[in-house]
């Protein structure tokens, strides 16, 4: 009896455990929890997306019931909605009365991502779901992979471990460098880092600089420069925080930040110097209107480029590559026709008398320096030297090299004959040291510092030089 009691005590916990296994409880993970309200007249699909699906992606359901991929994609009716309280769940309400040709979800369907392509299985096979469900129901559906998951990596695709500075370089500099100071020093010292590479975005090829992982979040002051050659761009607008990529356009003397646009067409820029005001761009060819009918396309806006305010007209992507005779007009007034092919942006300066194509990024021509004034050094020569020369060094080198200038000529003033040396205008105002010498021989006078801002008169001997007052009659 005692042995049976012990046996019963040992078996009892096992029976309790086995009994508990009969009460099957379904395990529900957080990502499977309902995220959308049921609707009595609609089928609700709650779709669990694979890792890497962007929250701003556009995802569509595709099947025979809605006409297939060519019809359903881009139609709002078939686009899924991102759940607000879930990172992985999206939903869509389907109303069977809108299905085509008597088809249902049981005939098969899949999902299509605008960013990642069609849905695929884990073995990279076509993925088809089939459901026989009715309105007023909620069903979870899993997407295992997107088409992009199986695409081979592009070895030429650029990768960045930090944020990037992109530059549309319209400067004439032979080499572009980027220096930065602030929370850290980019490149470790002046002139900074060299261009990492180039990338074409839309119609523009940018040079770009990788700033690196360690610079993320830092506040820095950018200085674009010609690799330390003495030219640089810095100031307001180049003081940035590296919490994103930046895009700039630069010339030799100016810079501006660029806001990228999805617009892929070409643009007409107008520096408007007319009295009547350019308001439109009209284009025609042999077949008639190329743009909308007269007066054409209205001014889109204004933009400052290199200190000049331009009106600009976005011509539209549908006109890319087309030839036209362009008429910039104000409705009742117009400039003469300009033949153009819209395969690039155009910049015009328009006056009442006509239009001239300009380059807004060309450096301003340097103003020619005002020519200096020529001066003369007059000398009463009381030396016994066989020849007389004049050398100068310091702010200028007279004669290019020793022994310097030869005597230009002689001139009689108030009965005294002077030898004189002509000093070229480019030396006007320069500080130099004169050395009168015996035409490169072994004889010379001590250095004499002067400023070349007037004529000078000297009397010299073999041992010294004395400055004279200018003659009264000269």
Contacts of 454 (CB under 8 A, 6+ apart): 375
Strands 405-406 and 389-394: antiparallel
For the domain bounded by 40-150, which CATH number is listed? 2.60.40
pLDDT at position 378, please? 95
Count the neighbouring beta carbons within 10 Å of the beta carbon of residue 367.
6
Please check whether the domain covering 375-467 is classified as CATH 2.40.30. no
Please check whether the domain covering 164-257 is classified as CATH 1.25.40. no
Contacts of 232 (CB under 8 A, 6+ apart): 223, 224, 225, 226
- Number of Cα atoms under 13 Å in the Cβ half of residue 260: 14
pLDDT by residue (tens digit) across 88-119? Answer: 899 999 999 999 999 999 999 999 999 899 99
Handedness of CA 39, 43, 48, 52 (dihedral sign): negative
Strands 456-460 and 465-467: antiparallel
How many angstroms separate the CA atoms of 31 and 41, rounded?
25
Question: Which tokens belong to 353?
Answer: 């008398």
pLDDT at position 140, please? 94
Q: Which residue in 413, 389, 392 sits closest to 469, CA to CA?
A: 413
Chain-wide mean pLDDT for the chain? 87
Answer whether residue 24 shows pLDDT above 60: no
How many angstroms separate the CA atoms of 45 and 141, rounded?
7
For residues 398 and 432, the answer to whether their CB atoms sit within 8 Å is yes
Mean pLDDT of 329-341: 92
Give domain 267-357's CATH number out of 1.10.10, 2.60.40, 2.40.170, 3.20.20. 2.60.40
Answer whether residue 28 shows pLDDT above 70: no
Answer whether residue 365 shows pLDDT above 80: no
**The total number of residues written for the chain in this structure:** 474
Q: What is the 3-state secondary structure (H, E, C) of 69-112?
A: HHHHCCCHHHECEECCCCCCEEEEEECHHHCCCCCCHHHCEEEE
Largest CA distance in the chain: 161
How many angstroms separate the CA atoms of 376 and 421, rounded?
6
pLDDT at position 188, please? 80
Say whether the peptide bond before residue 191 is cis (omega within 30 degrees of 0).
yes
The β-bridge partners of 148 are none
Query: 0.85 cut: is pTM over it?
Result: no
Say whether the peptide bond before residue 295 is cis (omega within 30 degrees of 0).
yes
For residues 195 and 174, the answer to whether their CB atoms sit within 8 Å is no
The β-bridge partners of 98 are none
pLDDT band at 154 (very low <50, low <70, confident <90, very high): low
Mean pLDDT of 19-32: 58
pLDDT band at 281 (very low <50, low <70, confident <90, very high): very high
Mean pLDDT of 18-47: 75
How many angstroms separate the CA atoms of 191 and 229, rounded?
9
Question: Which tokens belong to 251?
Answer: 């010339």
How many angstroms separate the CA atoms of 85 and 221, rounded?
40
pLDDT at position 236, please? 87
pLDDT at position 448, please? 92
Mean pLDDT of 406-415: 90
Domain ranges (residues) in the chain? 40-150, 164-257, 267-357, 375-467
The residue ranking higher by pLDDT, 307 or 39, is 39
pLDDT at position 367, please? 64
Same topology for domains 164-257 and 267-357, yes or no? yes
pLDDT at position 1, please? 46
Answer whether residue 239 shows pLDDT above 60: yes
pLDDT band at 14 (very low <50, low <70, confident <90, very high): low
The β-bridge partners of 60 are 79, 112
Of 134-143, 156-165, 191-200, 451-460, the one with minimum mean pLDDT is 156-165
Strands 465-467 and 323-329: unpaired
Mean pLDDT of 248-272: 87
How many angstroms separate the CA atoms of 270 and 264, rounded?
19
Q: Which residue in 171, 355, 337, 334 sits closest to 271, CA to CA?
A: 355
Answer whether residue 13 shows pLDDT above 90: no
How many angstroms separate the CA atoms of 78 and 59, rounded?
8
Mean pLDDT of 250-278: 88
For residues 314 and 330, the answer to whether their CB atoms sit within 8 Å is no
Q: Which residue in 329, 335, 328 sits closest to 352, CA to CA?
A: 335
């Amino acid at each position: 009896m005692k042995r049976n009691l012990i046996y019963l005590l040992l078996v009892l916990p096992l029976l309790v455990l086995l009994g508990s296994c009969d009460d099957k409880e379904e395990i529900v993970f957080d990502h499977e929890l309902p995220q959308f309200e049921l609707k009595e007249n609609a089928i609700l699909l709650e779709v669990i997306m694979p890792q890497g699906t962007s929250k701003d992606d556009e995802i569509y359901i595709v099947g025979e019931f809605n006409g297939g991929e060519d019809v359903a994609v881009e139609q709002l009716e078939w686009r899924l909605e991102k759940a607000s309280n879930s990172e992985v769940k999206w939903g869509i309400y389907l109303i069977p009365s809108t299905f085509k040709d008597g088809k249902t979800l049981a005939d098969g369907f899949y999902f299509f991502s605008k960013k990642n392509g069609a849905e695929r299985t884990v073995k990279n096979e076509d993925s088809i779901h089939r459901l026989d469900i009715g309105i007023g129901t909620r069903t979870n559906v899993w997407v295992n992979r997107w088409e992009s998951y199986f695409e081979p990596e592009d070895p030429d695709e650029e990768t960045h471990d930090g944020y990037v500075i992109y530059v549309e370089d319209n400067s004439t500099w032979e080499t572009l460098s980027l220096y930065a100071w602030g929370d850290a020093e980019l490149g470790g010292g002046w002139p900074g880092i060299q261009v990492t590479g180039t990338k074409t975005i839309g119609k523009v090829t940018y040079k770009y600089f990788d700033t690196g992982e360690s610079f993320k979040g830092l506040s820095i002051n950018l200085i674009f420069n010609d690799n330390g050659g003495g030219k640089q761009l810095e100031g307001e607008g180049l003081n940035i925080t590296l919490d994103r990529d930046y895009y700039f356009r630069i010339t030799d003397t100016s810079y501006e930040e660029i806001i990228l646009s999805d617009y892929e067409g070409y643009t007409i820029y107008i520096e408007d110097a007319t009295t009547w005001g350019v308001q439109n761009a009209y284009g025609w060819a042999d077949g008639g209107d190329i743009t909308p009918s007269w007066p054409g396309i209205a001014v889109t806006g204004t933009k400052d480029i290199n200190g000049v305010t331009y009106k600009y007209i976005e011509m539209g992507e549908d006109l890319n590559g087309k030839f036209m005779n362009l008429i910039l007009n104000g409705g009742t007034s117009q400039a003469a026709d300009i033949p153009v092919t819209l395969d690039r942006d155009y910049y015009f300066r328009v006056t009442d008398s006509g239009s001239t194509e300009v380059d807004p990024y060309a450096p301003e021509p340097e103003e020619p320096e005002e020519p200096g004034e020529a001066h003369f050094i007059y000398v009463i020569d009381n030396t016994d030297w066989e020849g007389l020369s004049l050398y100068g060094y310091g702010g200028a080198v007279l004669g290019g090299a020793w022994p310097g200038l030869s005597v230009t000529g002689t001139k009689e003033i108030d009965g005294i004959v002077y030898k004189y040396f002509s000093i070229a205008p480019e030396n006007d105002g320069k500080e130099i040291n004169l050395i009168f010498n015996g035409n490169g021989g072994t004889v010379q006078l001590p250095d004499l510092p002067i400023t070349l801002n007037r004529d000078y008169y000297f009397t010299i001997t073999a041992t010294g030089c004395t400055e004279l007052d200018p003659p009264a009659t000269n």
